[in-house]
Structure 1
């Protein structure tokens, strides 16, 4: 017996045509017919009346159609159930975080959580937000840490994943300093030339936020996109090199601002974008170690 036979039978029951069913299953018609006949031999009875066109299910075939549908649903659920069993006994936390938070916020935050619970091994996957969201959808991680903003909802928020705010940040428009210590490129006042702009790609969560909050305002200014990248850390390097203005998380550039290697590109506070740092968790059971981690995060966030 082969599980492929059940899938073959369901396609044939739907189409009633051996040629079309064989095409959908990407096999030749003779090979497909042999697989259906092998299934009937295994059951010891015929499932189809081949004298009619299209082929019709016998009474046993109608019964077996329901059995096959139930069986395929059950088979499809087995990998997820196996992962759930493994989750229940796993002490390893699987966490995805955007690059900017992996470098800055995450280490300090984990130290705070360790005062509330004993953390086991942590497996960190650091990537752009879109990939972090995909890892959660594929059940490859239990948690995702990212920047969020009320004006734009990411895939995890849209899909109703439980979450809690665990910190805050500000996206600051910055530029390298000139010899006088002022911004090399300023968003203030009249300007003859367009402001060179360092832009995030569409995969970036920070880019998603900046476009939602200041995108319209930027569209009415003279700007010139000179560089595009996924990562805030890359745009930071380009800003330090004097290439243009970038909106960067304050958590990433605190030392740069203190040393005046980077300076704010405007005195207008409306250009600064407050952001939340939010922890998302997987739906359903995630195991005791992960639940303890989640409860510690909730406890710290409530303070």
Structure 2
């Protein structure tokens, strides 16, 4: 069953501003007072009414030194205008309610390094700008972040992988570098020459799990050098990896962002590596075709203003 063909609105339909002006004239019986109420000059108001009369093809006002009075046609048009303006006000109120509901919460999904070392500062800044927005943070590896966004469980995500995951759009918000670190007791802590890519690839390492951005970058960097050896340990959090390395279990490769305290206190020692690129991009991501709005847009803007995270 087919419906009736849609008929587009006539070019003779006045805009809402003109209809609001006509209603103001009807209330006050004066074009001057209607002009003041709607925030335009009297000549502009008069010109707008005359333009509407030409558009509709009927006279709306009888003008006299004592004021402006609606014609019979003007009274009828005013009744129609009132219904249109009331419907527009209801539409506007409904749209505002939708925006308020959207702005009342923000669901963020972030990979572990960003969630632990960058997002707290951004969320504090967002709280100052949007104190009424409730923020929830879901932390996981980059693959989990992409999954949450695609499932509609998050409004904005942050990932550390090699590229924008399929089905998402994104923008680079910062650069980061992976570094090799060991406990002071490890033999590599006393090396006088950098590790070669082959030495790093052949060594059993304490690693993040498959699906993490850190692991993706390391796998790709060492693929041309024989690939990673069997991991010594695979752990699902940066904190756990650092703890295992500090205990002397073996070397690990982590984000430099995550190692500031351990390196400054020399609980872990950075080991130079030559001939392999361990630099990576940190990205904000969102479902393809759905640019962030409301609090998500504001949070994205804050990442660009953060001096610690500038590319």
Please list the CA deviations of residues 182-221 of structure 1 after superposition, one character each: whole Å capped at 9, or x if unmatched: 259x973898xx63312332221210111011233253x8
Is the Cα–Cα contact under 8 Å of residues 142 and 290 in structure 1 kept in the other structure?
A: yes
- Deviation, structure 1 residue 268: 3.0
Once the two structures are superposed, the pairs formed by residues 85-96 of structure 1 within 5 Å of their partners are 85=98, 89-96=102-109
- Deviation, structure 1 residue 226: 1.4
Q: Secondary structure at the match of 2:233?
A: strand
1:121 maps to what in 2? 134
- Deviation, structure 1 residue 111: 4.2
Is the Cα–Cα contact under 8 Å of residues 180 and 252 in structure 2 kept in the other structure?
A: yes
Structure 2 stretches lacking a partner, 5+ long: 4-97
Is the Cα–Cα contact under 8 Å of residues 122 and 303 in structure 2 kept in the other structure?
A: no
1:208 maps to what in 2? 216
CA distance in 2: counterparts of 1:269 and 1:260, whole angstroms: 22
CA distance in 2: counterparts of 1:224 and 1:302, whole angstroms: 35
2:262 to 251, 256, 268: 256
1:229 to 204, 227, 235: 235
Is the Cα–Cα contact under 8 Å of residues 87 and 286 in structure 1 kept in the other structure?
A: no
Once the two structures are superposed, the pairs formed by residues 143-162 of structure 1 within 5 Å of their partners are 143-148=156-161, 152-155=162-165, 158-161=166-169
Please list the CA deviations of residues 126-145 of structure 1 after superposition, one character each: whole Å capped at 9, or x if unmatched: 11221111100011101111
- Deviation, structure 1 residue 256: 0.7
After superposition, the Cα gap between the structure-2 partners of 1:102 and 1:133, relative to the gap in structure 1 and judged at 3 Å, is same
CA distance in 1: counterparts of 2:104 and 2:159, whole angstroms: 23
Q: For the pair shown, which has the larger CA radius of gyration, 1 or 2?
A: 2
2:283 aligned with 1:278: yes
Is the Cα–Cα contact under 8 Å of residues 183 and 269 in structure 2 kept in the other structure?
A: yes
Structure 1 stretches lacking a partner, 5+ long: 1-62, 68-84
- Deviation, structure 1 residue 96: 0.3
2:149 aligned with 1:175: no
After superposition, the Cα gap between the structure-2 partners of 1:208 and 1:200, relative to the gap in structure 1 and judged at 3 Å, is same
CA distance in 2: counterparts of 1:226 and 1:302, whole angstroms: 34
Give the number of aligned pairs: 210
2:295 maps to what in 1? 289
Two-structure CA RMSD over aligned residues (Å): 3.5
1:247 to 234, 250, 253: 253
Is the Cα–Cα contact under 8 Å of residues 100 and 233 in structure 1 kept in the other structure?
A: no
Q: Secondary structure at the match of 1:244?
A: coil
Q: Secondary structure at the match of 2:220?
A: helix
CA distance in 2: counterparts of 1:286 and 1:209, whole angstroms: 27
2:273 to 261, 268, 272: 268
Please list the CA deviations of residues 155-175 of structure 1 after superposition, one character each: whole Å capped at 9, or x if unmatched: 2xx3241x2222222110111
2:147 maps to what in 1? 134
TM-score, normalised relative to structure 1: 0.58
2:205 aligned with 1:197: yes
TM-score, normalised relative to structure 2: 0.56
Is the Cα–Cα contact under 8 Å of residues 94 and 122 in structure 1 kept in the other structure?
A: yes
- Deviation, structure 1 residue 294: 3.2
Q: Secondary structure at the match of 1:252?
A: helix
Is the Cα–Cα contact under 8 Å of residues 104 and 252 in structure 1 kept in the other structure?
A: yes
After superposition, the Cα gap between the structure-2 partners of 1:285 and 1:244, relative to the gap in structure 1 and judged at 3 Å, is closer
